[in-house]
A and B are shown apart, each in its own frame.
Chain A
Amino acid sequence: GAVVSQHPSWVICKSGTSVKIECRSLDFQATTMFWYRQFPKQSLMLMATSNEGSKATYEQGVEKDKFLINHASLTLSTLTVTSAHPEDSSFYICSARLVDTQYFGPGTRLTVL
């Protein structure tokens, strides 16, 4: 199947700093990518949908100024968590759509101290 990578796989940062997570579709081009967040023992929650070359669409309750999404090319989307706080600690997972199937990255574990 199609491969989606994420970098970094884990990151620990101090409160107030910003963290950037990259998501790449390795063997296909994706006009649409998705960002999810997953807290412990909970299911994935969709944060936003990004389309290449246009602004991301955020789900209700997700602050667009805090979670900056850039989808600059057909194979790369980035999520920047700005001024991170401990409550932002979570497992962030990206996904890319190929035809009618979504493929997911391995996730990024963010811990904010």
Chain B
Amino acid sequence: DAKTTQPNSMESNEEEPVHLPCNHSTISGTDYIHWYRQLPSQGPEYVIHGLTSNVNNRMASLAIAEDRKSSTLILHRATLRDAAVYYCILRDYLYGGSQGNLIFGKGTKLSVKP
């Protein structure tokens, strides 16, 4: 599986934008970039995913570098409820079944200060 690299932790102030980086220099042409977040004692929550173009949804935006070797998850206005561990994961869309599943790294722990 292609690996991702994320900072261990980041801090943000409430109501300010947050840019969470992810490096994936060995990404293949068929890998989707997925972002999930996990609040304490809860299962991961889907945030966003993309392949080549930037993506926006009600939760966040995903900016993907032109060479696809890095991406950035953007939270436009951080709230206290956004404090979580954010995982950047690559998944190959060619595979179903036991392949192409999500393999979690250590993620980035985001702290939000009031």
Q: Is B49's CB under 8 angstroms from A101's CB?
A: yes
CB-nearest residue of chain A to B96: A32
| In contact, B106 and A107 (Cβ under 8 angstroms) | no
Quick check: B98 and A102 within 8 Å, CB to CB?
A: no
User: Is B102's beta carbon under 8 Å from chain A?
Assistant: yes
Are A107 and B93 neighbours in the complex by a CB distance under 8 Å? no
Contacts A93-B44, A104-B43 given; does A34 touch B101 at CB 8 Å: yes
Q: With a CB–CB cut-off of 8 A, which chain B residues contact A60?
A: none
Considering the complex, give the chain A residue whose CB is closest to the CB of B44.
A104
Interface size bracket, B side: 20 to 34
Q: Which of A1, A43, A105, A106 contacts B105 (CB 8 A)?
A: A43
Query: In the assembled complex, which residues on chain B have CB atoms less than 8 Å from the CB atom of A36?
Result: 104
Task: Bits for B21-48, please: 1 = Cβ < 8 Å to A, else 0.
Answer: 0000000000010101010011111100
Q: Which residue of A45, A46, A51, A104 contacts B45 across the interface (Cβ within 8 Å)? A: A104
For B114, what are the chain A residues with a Cβ–Cβ distance below 8 Å?
Answer: none
Out of A57, A95, A106, A109, which one reaches B102, CB within 8 Å?
A95
Q: SS class of chain A's interface: helix, strand, loop or mixed?
A: strand
In the bound complex, do residue B93 and residue A32 qualify as a contact, i.e. CB atoms below 8 Å apart?
Answer: no
Which one, A1, A51, A57, A105, contacts B43 given CB within 8 A? A105
Cα distance A101–B33 in the bound complex, in angstroms: 11
Residues of A within 8 A of B32 (CB): 100
Chain B residue at smallest Cβ distance from A107: B43
* Per-position binary interface string of chain A over residues 82-113, scored 1 when its CB falls under 8 Å from any chain B CB and 0 otherwise: 00000000010101000011111111010000
Q: Are B105 and A107 in contact (CB under 8 A)?
A: no
11 A–B contacts from the bound complex (CB under 8 Å): A4-B43, A46-B104, A51-B97, A57-B98, A91-B41, A93-B43, A95-B44, A101-B49, A104-B43, A104-B44, A107-B41
Q: Give the 4 A-B CB pairs with smallest separation, nearest first.
A: A104-B43, A57-B98, A49-B98, A44-B104
Residues of A at the B interface (CB closer than 8 Å) are 1, 4, 6, 32, 34, 36, 43-46, 49, 51, 57, 91, 93, 95, 100-107, 109
